A = this chain, B = another copy of it.
Amino acid sequence: MEFEDAEPGTMRPGGRTARVRAAVLRAAGDAMAEGGFAHLDLADIARRAEVGKTTVYRRWGTVTSLVADLLLDMAEQSVPRSETGSLLGDLKANARLVQRTLTDPRQGALFKAMIAAAACDARTAEALHRFYDIRVREWAPCVQQAVDRGELPEGTDAHEVIRAVSAPLYYHLLTTGDRLDEAAADQAAEAAAAAARAGAYLRDA
């Protein structure tokens, strides 16, 4: 189906625009997961998405802009945080979500490609930093709730605790050939919770 050929008036403009964006971002993610950032090509992405090439060029202009929009969409579409009632429960839910994402064939390849692209391109790095900032903000309240419940010391930096859960999972992915399993996720959550309880993430520390 060619979105360009949709009969005028058959869809609300917002609906059509949103569907074109979804199709193009899906195609961009597929292409990036398969071949990395270096081989991305707007014409190829338009073809994969079955969207007119001019629509893609007019709307995104460059591969870098398209990848930045993909990262924004990934942040918007990401799973909301869990609330289990305990710090360890919440951090384990976060760690398992990260572990499932990084071990998913498409998502894992996509994140590796994003990190590689960000290492070479400043604008992609900015977009990737925004993605992680949005994700950290989504999960930080579970740490503040643990402070409020008295599970963690006052003055704990909630963002640092959330980053501490993801850090070993990404580090394993990038620096070892080991498969990331649920035990690694649980260990990451337990280590972050233990360090937080010991005051390692106090804002003044």
- The segment out of A9-17, A76-84, A196-204 that lies at the interface is A196-204
- Min Cβ gap A13→B in Å is 36
Query: For window 160-201 of chain A, which residues contact chain B by CB distance below 8 Å?
Result: 160, 163-164, 166-168, 170-172, 174-177, 187, 190-192, 194-195, 197-201
Q: Flag if B126 contacts A119 (CB, 8 Å).
A: no
Chain B residues, Cβ within 8 Å of A175:
128-129, 132, 163, 166, 170
Of the four ranges (under 10, 10 to 19, 20 to 34, 35 or more), the interface on chain A belongs to 35 or more
A125 to B125, CA, bound (A): 21
Q: Flag if B170 contacts A163 (CB, 8 Å).
A: no
Chain copies in the assembled complex? 2
Q: Flag if A198 contacts B200 (CB, 8 Å).
A: no
A26 in the interface (beta carbon within 8 A): no
Chain B residues, Cβ within 8 Å of A147:
none
A199 to B190, CA, bound (A): 9
A115 in the interface (beta carbon within 8 A): yes
A141 in the interface (beta carbon within 8 A): no
Q: Flag if A164 contacts B191 (CB, 8 Å).
A: yes
How would residues 119 to 148 of chain A score, 1 for a CB under 8 Å from any chain B CB and 0 otherwise? 110000110110011000000000000000
Chain B residue at minimum C-beta to C-beta distance from A118:
B174
A194 to B152, CA, bound (A): 14
Chain B residues, Cβ within 8 Å of A38:
38, 120
Chain B residues, Cβ within 8 Å of A36:
119-120
- Min Cβ gap A66→B in Å is 19
Write the residues of chain A forming the contact surface with B, with a CB cutoff of 8 angstroms: 36, 38, 112-113, 115-120, 125-126, 128-129, 132-133, 160, 163-164, 166-168, 170-172, 174-177, 187, 190-192, 194-195, 197-201, 205
Cβ contacts A to B, 8 pairs, < 8 Å: A38-B38, A118-B174, A126-B177, A133-B176, A190-B205, A194-B197, A194-B198, A197-B198
